[in-house]
Structure 1
Amino acid sequence: MQENINLKGKDFLSLKDYSKGEINYLLSFAANLKDKQKRGEKHNLLQGKSLGMIFEKPSTRTRMSFEVGIYQLGGQALFLSSRDLQIGRGEPICDTARVFSRYVDGIMIRTFSHADVEELAHYATIPVINGLTDLLHPCQVLADLLTIKEYKGKLEGQKLVYIGDGNNMAHSLMYGGAKMGMNVVIAAPEAYFPDEKITAEAKSIAAENGGTIELISNPKEAAEDADVLYTDVWASMGQESEQEERMEKFLTYQVNNELMACAKKDAIVLHCLPAHRGEEITAEVLEKYQNVIFDEAENRLHAQKAIMAAIM
């Protein structure tokens, strides 16, 4: 690990805010913590520290990975839903940030509005971690990068093809892939392409690091010679009313055997979960690559431990 990198006190809101060296540091740190955990070696780096966890969106992996993660690091987590907080009764975010800063050592928030997370970070005097917003999901992508590195040995030059909605996952994969010199392709119907501003920023970052960002509407063309195929649900939380319309629009964007035939023979499949078998991915493909997908899910734990230990 690079000893000259110090992330103490830094927010983790977007991978755009982290340099390639800092991301590599976090990936090495995560791999190290994973190894320690597997060997049963104590690593109480956050002994006596507390993490306040704000959940306005429910979660399985986010809650478990942060709660178990800080426990393994020697600290404790406090789970707070919107029902538990005065935010739900009209307390401004700035006051919530100031109160949390007096009680805990870090904040993890999983919510809808990215602007709310930025405001929380602005007023908090402790580091804030973005556990997911409608715009970005950086914690998931750090775990994804760790998984790709484990299976492929490197990140630079790898072709990562994301198939589906140009959502928060697509945005963070573009930022993360661009920082690491990867060739990221987003395959989606044009009406569901990622945010134009984020795409432009990611293209600029990729150019600086020897990578590329490309948007394609033809999934088979996108999947050609892919090292990694990635998918996510077609309708995210809050988009349930669009489910039928999206099912129709994304019908040809399923990760199935036909699409896998376009990728490299040694390609891997990733899914941030939960998966809807028979929709964005067939049960057959998911089961064939379940070892990779559930390693990816496990890596949320190790990646998030690295984030917490580095910034808290």
Structure 2
Amino acid sequence: MQSVFQGKSFLAEKDFTKDELLYFIDFAAHLKALKQKGIAHQYLKGKNIALLFEKTSTRTRAAFTVAANDLGAHPEFLGANDIQLGTKESTIDTAKVLGSMFDGIEFRGFAQETVETLAQYAGVPVWNGLTDLWHPTQMIADFLTIKEHFGKIAGLNLAYCGDGRNNMANSLLVTGAILGLNVRIVSPKALFPNPEIIALAKSFAKTSGSELVITDDIDQGVLKANIIYTDVWVSMGEESQFAERIELLKPYQVNQAMLEKTQNLDQFIFLHCLPAFHDTQTTYGQKIAELYGLTEMEVTDEVFQGKYAKQFQQAENRMHAIKAIMAATLGNLFIPKV
């Protein structure tokens, strides 16, 4: 039978069942093994892929480009200065035009509504490379990394420490709830997740048995954590809030003392979706140091360079995850039903 994913868009984790998400994770692991063995897997040979980027990117752009090439497709990058999206041309019109020329469309930008409109009118699969609300391709990579280390996902404890209202917190809370991972959002009360996101995650947790905790108590939040996950304190478009965020989030910096609080370092990894501000080796880091006196932000260099840190394996897995998503939704895969 043809894949149930054929022709389907990949817009948010909440749109997929536990088994479907596990399929993407396992398929990504399979494609990773094929690449490591040098075995060709050109499921998208001859296809053309549009890569729309309202927001800049390193990992997402690189991952989609390499994944498309490995699959035999031809990626075309269209940055913010290359497209008229929402300025001179409506999202609906853009979707219809690009959908008539390309076989699949990736979008990375601000509004979730934009990627959903593209999917509604393009007539081809659309993949969410990140919006302000969700980061679903990152989730497949993250849970692949977790499964590679622990051999399982359900029943593990993940503590996300930082801004509980951003797309990473949303995605981790909901995806974890679907997959049976216990998720703690460890954040100041002012940055707790949106109540609607919490309610959505709880609805999935009723089925999966996932335990969800939203707390500002660091000791409670990280105790027995198998994974501590963090992200930048200020997301793209929120730079004016730097001083406020630093004041709120300094206590939630992931450092060696926090790792010790898990009391679980024999079964533990650290994850970060990157980029990370762990030193002053960037102009951005130098600016923060000059303005606020901080040489490290959401994670210390000691942790980032330490033995528990798996963020670069996690970054590589973005490519394998994205490859699995594109192949499953556009590759006319034959998947027999047992």
**1:7 matched to which residue of 2?**
5
Q: For the residues of structure 1 that align with 2:209 and 2:136, how far apart are their CA atoms?
A: 21
**1:311 matched to which residue of 2?**
329
**1:194 matched to which residue of 2?**
193
Q: For the residues of structure 1 that align with 2:73 and 2:131, how far apart are their CA atoms?
A: 25
Q: For the residues of structure 1 that align with 2:242 and 2:84, how far apart are their CA atoms?
A: 32
Q: For the residues of structure 2 that align with 1:192 and 1:279, how far apart are their CA atoms?
A: 17
After TM superposition, the runs of 4+ consecutive aligned structure 1 residues lying more than 3 A away are none
Shift, 1:244, TM fit:
1.4
CA contact 2:24–2:324 (8 Å) conserved in 1: yes
Amino acid at match of 1:63: R
**1:165 matched to which residue of 2?**
163
Q: For the residues of structure 2 that align with 1:77 and 1:220, how far apart are their CA atoms?
A: 46
CA contact 2:270–2:309 (8 Å) conserved in 1: no
Unaligned runs of 5+ residues in structure 1 are: none
CA contact 2:271–2:309 (8 Å) conserved in 1: no
Amino acid at match of 1:36: L
Shift, 1:86, TM fit:
2.4
CA contact 2:269–2:308 (8 Å) conserved in 1: no
Q: CA RMSD for the aligned pairs? A: 1.2
**1:58 matched to which residue of 2?**
56
1:259-270 equivalences in 2 (<5 Å): 259-263=258-262, 264-265=264-265, 266-270=267-271
**1:249 matched to which residue of 2?**
248
Shift, 1:89, TM fit:
3.7
Q: For the residues of structure 2 that align with 1:202 and 1:20, how far apart are their CA atoms?
A: 13
Shift, 1:88, TM fit:
5.5
Q: For the residues of structure 2 that align with 1:136 and 1:162, how far apart are their CA atoms?
A: 15
SS of alignment partner, residue 326 of structure 2: helix
Shift, 1:289, TM fit:
4.1
Shift, 1:216, TM fit:
0.5
Q: For the residues of structure 2 that align with 1:179 and 1:139, how far apart are their CA atoms?
A: 15
Tell which deviates more after alignment, 81-90 or 212-221.
81-90
Q: Are the structure 2 counterparts of residues 56 and 255 from structure 1 closer, same or farther at C-alpha, using a change threshold of 3 Å?
A: same
From 17, 20, 37, the counterpart of 2:18: 20
Unaligned runs of 5+ residues in structure 2 are: 279-295, 331-338
**1:227 matched to which residue of 2?**
226
Q: For the residues of structure 2 that align with 1:115 and 1:89, how far apart are their CA atoms?
A: 15
Q: For the residues of structure 1 that align with 2:55 and 2:229, how far apart are their CA atoms?
A: 23
Q: For the residues of structure 1 that align with 2:322 and 2:218, how far apart are their CA atoms?
A: 31
1:172-187 equivalences in 2 (<5 Å): 172-187=171-186
**2:289 matched to which residue of 1?**
none
**2:95 matched to which residue of 1?**
97
Amino acid at match of 2:217: N
SS of alignment partner, residue 87 of structure 1: coil
CA contact 1:182–1:211 (8 Å) conserved in 2: yes
Aligned length: 310
Amino acid at match of 1:284: E
SS of alignment partner, residue 168 of structure 2: helix
1:64-103 equivalences in 2 (<5 Å): 64-87=62-85, 89-103=87-101
Shift, 1:28, TM fit:
1.1
From 306, 311, 320, the counterpart of 1:302: 320
